[in-house]
């Protein structure tokens, strides 16, 4: 890798030194690049500028450090630290082959621990308590986590990422659904919208468990009105095997919100004991669901197998619901739900719009390779064995019909649960031009900067505007 250059660009500094209390309690680090972060070409220098935002007063000398680390998709790492001042931090680097550079920076206190903000508002009022609750849910560090890509349009699925018999395998799996008629049970539950109804639903499915979730239907269907149908899918739940009924519902769309497990709902008699039992049942060889390499070695018994079948059956069921307009079929979800959304779009049920955010499991073979390198990652990767290739989002994306409008609603340049390289490969694999992606600088998997610069960008062609 070519030589990197570090530079500090001086800004006007104030002379008076104030107490450190509260100076950084609302601060965050804004990161920008000298050009669109997806537009770098081979040989280009990437220039990052980091700036402290919302600092309240002067930064006391000697109280804080700025710790930074640069890594990339190929295992190269460089790091350093320096006193934190009111100057901006400029970092220059290059990448020699298509991929992404990640730049992380944290404010450390004088004991070299990551600084944590404290709530400084008045919690005696309802507004203050709401602000305090929001603060408690937010990240406490002052940090930046983002990056830039070099020629990302050239990135493709890893050599071993798609089995030769991918289509034949899924023809056999989907044939299992043909032997199970679409049959449902419904229990109506309370709805906060007087113009809609909500039902707890159980739908028969191939595999070990049914499809379960909550269906909301506008009351206007009783008068003959028709609406688009939407399938909503969930993120990774770990050992939380509970799905509670929503309080509110849309009155302009039919929505089926399903859980990932086909778990028994309370409306059908589920108890706390059932939830505990399922939490143990879905574990395998000491691993949380879907992470067991031994189980995944056989794609027919991999945990994702039943999940795919439930997604396809849920779409089949939605098309039978009275009030569907017969043309608009939408799938949406984020993280694991984003993965399920890609499955939905490609499984042959005629999805017309797919909205997949921070999509999980894009090029799992690549993610496995990262584990053995020094490149940054949060480790939230399913260990790659050949069996998981049948579930890879990038392999599925290649099979999304061009008629489906596919939106990657967020792709974080600092998200190393769902790394930018994988999301770029996902984007590249989606056929045609009926697609969009929103890259967000400084965004991790569960974090978006206060004034993020999200753009719909197509590796050389704009498809939309700001935010």
pLDDT in tens, 311-368: 999 999 999 999 999 999 999 999 999 999 999 999 999 999 999 999 999 999 987 7
Residues 6+ apart with CB under 8 A from 172: none
Residue 449 pLDDT exceeds 90: yes
- Give pLDDT, residue 129: 87
Residue 160 pLDDT exceeds 90: no
- Give pLDDT, residue 132: 86
- Give pLDDT, residue 3: 39
Long-range contacts formed by 249-252: CB under 8 A, 24+ apart: 249/191, 249/192, 249/193, 249/196, 249/197, 249/198, 249/216, 249/217, 250/193, 250/196, 250/216, 250/218, 251/193, 251/195, 251/196, 251/218, 251/219, 251/220, 252/218, 252/227
- Give pLDDT, residue 308: 98
Residues 6+ apart with CB under 8 A from 288: 238, 239, 282
Nearest to 379 by CA among 427, 419, 339: 419
- Work out whether the CA dihedral 235, 259, 328, 248 comes out positive or negative: negative
Residue 5 pLDDT exceeds 60: no
pLDDT tier, 1 (very low <50, low <70, confident <90, very high otherwise) = very low
- Give pLDDT, residue 138: 85
The alpha carbons of the chain give a radius of gyration, in whole angstroms, of 24
- Range among 6-10, 117-121, 180-184, 272-276 rated most confident: 180-184
Are 82 and 110 contacting, i.e. CB atoms less than 8 angstroms apart? Answer: no
- Give pLDDT, residue 123: 83
Residue that wins the pLDDT comparison between 461 and 219:
219
Residue 191 pLDDT exceeds 80: yes
- Give pLDDT, residue 460: 61
Residue 10 pLDDT exceeds 50: no
Alpha helices in 282-401 (DSSP H): 293-296, 303-318, 336-346, 364-371, 393-397
* CA 86 vs CA 57, 272, 302: distances in Å: 10, 54, 53
Residue 180 pLDDT exceeds 70: yes
Residue 14 pLDDT exceeds 60: no
- Give pLDDT, residue 6: 35
- Residue 408's H or E segment, with its range, is strand 405-412
pLDDT tier, 128 (very low <50, low <70, confident <90, very high otherwise) = confident
166-466 matches 5-154 in CATH topology: no
- Give pLDDT, residue 135: 83
Look at the domain 5-154 and name its fold.
Immunoglobulin-like (2.60.40)
Residue 54 pLDDT exceeds 50: yes
pLDDT tier, 465 (very low <50, low <70, confident <90, very high otherwise) = very low
Nearest to 274 by CA among 301, 304, 242, 246: 242
Are 365 and 161 contacting, i.e. CB atoms less than 8 angstroms apart? Answer: yes
Domain ranges within the chain, ordered by starting residue: 5-154, 166-466
Q: What is the pLDDT of residues 228-270, one digit of tens each?
A: 999 999 999 887 899 999 999 999 999 999 999 999 999 999 9
> Mean of the pLDDT values across residues 420-443?
96
> Mean of the pLDDT values across residues 185-191?
98
pLDDT tier, 461 (very low <50, low <70, confident <90, very high otherwise) = low
Q: What is the pLDDT of residues 76-114, one digit of tens each?
A: 999 999 999 989 999 999 999 999 999 999 999 999 999
pLDDT tier, 445 (very low <50, low <70, confident <90, very high otherwise) = very high
- What homologous superfamily is domain 166-466 in, according to CATH? Alpha/Beta hydrolase fold, catalytic domain (3.40.50.1820)
- Give pLDDT, residue 451: 81
How much is the mean pLDDT over the chain? 91
- Residue whose structure tokens are 């400029």: 90
pLDDT tier, 23 (very low <50, low <70, confident <90, very high otherwise) = very high
Residue 402 pLDDT exceeds 60: yes
Q: What is the pTM of this model?
A: 0.92
Are 298 and 250 contacting, i.e. CB atoms less than 8 angstroms apart? Answer: no
Q: How far, in Å, CA of 76 to CA of 462, rounded?
A: 31
pLDDT tier, 223 (very low <50, low <70, confident <90, very high otherwise) = very high
């Amino acid at each position: 890798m070519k030589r990197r250059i570090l530079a500090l660009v001086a800004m006007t500094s104030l002379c008076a030194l104030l107490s450190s209390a509260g100076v950084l309690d609302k601060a965050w680090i804004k990161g920008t690049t000298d050009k669109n972060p997806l537009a770098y070409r081979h040989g280009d220098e990437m220039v990052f500028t980091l700036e402290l935002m919302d600092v309240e007063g002067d930064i006391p000398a000697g109280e804080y450090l700025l710790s930074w680390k640069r890594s990339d998709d190929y295992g190269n790492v460089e790091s350093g630290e320096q006193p934190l001042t009111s100057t901006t931090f400029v970092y220059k680097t290059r990448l020699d082959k298509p991929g992404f550079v990640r730049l992380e920076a944290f404010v450390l206190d004088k004991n070299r621990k990551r600084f944590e903000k404290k709530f400084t508002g008045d919690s005696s009022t309802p507004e203050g308590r709401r602000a305090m609750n929001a603060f408690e849910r937010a990240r406490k560090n002052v940090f930046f986590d983002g990056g830039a890509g070099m020629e990302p349009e050239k990135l493709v699925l890893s050599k071993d990422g798609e089995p030769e018999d991918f289509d034949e395998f899924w023809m056999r799996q989907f044939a299992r659904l043909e032997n199970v008629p679409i049959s449902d049970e419904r229990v109506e539950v309370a709805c906060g919208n007087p113009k809609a109804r909500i039902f707890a639903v159980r739908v028969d499915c191939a595999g070990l468990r049914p499809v379960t979730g909550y269906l909301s239907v506008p009351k206007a269907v009783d008068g003959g009105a028709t609406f688009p149908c939407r399938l909503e899918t969930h993120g990774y739940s770990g050992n939380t095997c509970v799905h509670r009924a929503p309080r509110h519902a849309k009155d302009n769309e039919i929505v089926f919100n399903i859980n990932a497990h086909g778990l028994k709902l309370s409306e059908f008699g589920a108890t706390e004991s059932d939830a505990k039992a399922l939490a143990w049942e879905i574990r395998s060889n000491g691993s949380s669901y879907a992470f067991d390499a031994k189980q995944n070695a056989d794609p027919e018994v991999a945990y994702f197998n039943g999940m795919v079948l439930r997604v396809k059956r849920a779409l089949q069921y939605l098309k039978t619901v009275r009030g569907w307009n017969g043309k608009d079929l939408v799938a949406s979800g984020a993280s694991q739900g984003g993965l399920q959304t890609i499955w939905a779009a490609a499984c042959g049920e005629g999805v017309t719009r797919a909205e997949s955010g921070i999509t999980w499991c894009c090029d799992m073979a690549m993610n496995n390779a990262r584990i053995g390198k020094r490149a940054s990652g949060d480790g939230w990767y399913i260990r790659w064995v050949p069996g998981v290739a049948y579930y890879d989002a990038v392999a599925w994306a290649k099979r999304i019909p061009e008629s489906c409008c596919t939106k990657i609603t967020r792709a974080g340049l600092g998200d190393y649960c769902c790394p930018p390289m994988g999301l770029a490969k996902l984007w590249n694999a989606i056929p045609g031009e009926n697609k969009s992606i929103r890259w967000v600088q400084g965004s991790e998997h569960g974090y978006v900067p206060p004034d993020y610069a999200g753009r719909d960008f197509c590796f050389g062609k704009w498809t939309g505007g700001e935010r």
